[in-house]
Amino acid sequence: MIHDDAEEGLNTAVYNELRTRLVTGRMSPGHELSTRSIAAELGVSQTPVRDALSRLAAEGAVAIRSKRRIRVPAMTAERFDDLLRCRLLLEPEAAALALPHLEAAHMRALREIDAKLDAAILSGDADAYMQCNHAFHFTLYRAQNRRTLLQLIETLWLQFGPFMRLVYGRVANAPLNDNHQAAIAAIQARDADALRAAIAADIGDGMGLISRTGLVSEDGLAPNA
């Protein structure tokens, strides 16, 4: 039993690490994944890595082509539109559902994260921006207790994270609007409609950056890749 618990804990740790890399864009679209190299980097056997990649494949985050060929999927216009529509359906509602549960500690955390995010925008630090943007949204969403809704949103972030990081990395001078202050103001006012609007605007600005930079094509390839 102890052995089984330890194995399950290791599998979960590897899975969580790979998830974090995906949602913060540390794995780019088209990136080839090697179970051997990941296992060596994390200091584990290939078994928990294969288990984690299988779970991620079921969530649409990676594509298993063969035993040795695993890739982060490219983005297509159709997939982009689908992800955008789903995010706009789920995330503003998750934020509104979280509103009654948000306390002073949540507000402090959101303000601290947003300050770090603003600094990342000013310095052009795409890595820090991705990490802070993810932290802001999920600090908010996790305050509500609907686990299924949260899991659906997490799956969407797994799928678009790699491509968003690619966009931010290539478009150094693109304006990355910060709608988080509007969200914080809506939370202070306990205004669910305003909070929905702020989150929808934030999603629209971030996802719209992909369209404006022309990096989505029908074949899933980024121009000038």
- Give the per-residue pLDDT at 216: 53
**Count of CB atoms within 10 A of residue 19's CB?**
19
pLDDT band at 167 (very low <50, low <70, confident <90, very high): low
Q: Are 4 and 11 in contact (CB under 8 A)?
A: no
- Give the per-residue pLDDT at 220: 47
Domains and CATH numbers, the chain: 2-71 (1.10.10.10), 77-212 (1.20.120.530)
Q: Could you give the CA distance from residue 77 to residue 214 in angstroms, rounded to a whole number? A: 10
β-strand 70-71 against 63-64: which pairing, if any? antiparallel
- Which tokens belong to 183? 């969200």
Residue whose entry in the numeric block shows the structure tokens 């594509």: 63
- For the segment 49-77, the average pLDDT, to the nearest whole number, is 87
- Winning range, highest mean pLDDT, from 61-65, 147-151, 217-221: 147-151
67-94 confidence digits (pLDDT tens): 767 899 887 878 888 888 999 999 999 9
Angle between helices 46-58 and 2-23 (to 10 degrees): 60
pTM above 0.95, yes or no: no
Q: Are 52 and 14 in contact (CB under 8 A)?
A: yes
137-154 confidence digits (pLDDT tens): 999 999 998 999 999 999
Q: Is 137 exposed, middle or buried (0-12, 13-18, 19+ CB in 10 A)?
A: buried
pLDDT band at 52 (very low <50, low <70, confident <90, very high): very high
Question: Quick check: 106 pLDDT over 90?
Answer: yes
> Percent of the chain having pLDDT more than 70?
82
Q: Are 39 and 46 in contact (CB under 8 A)?
A: yes
- For the segment 196-207, the average pLDDT, to the nearest whole number, is 88
- For the segment 55-67, the average pLDDT, to the nearest whole number, is 88
Question: Quick check: 224 pLDDT over 70?
Answer: no
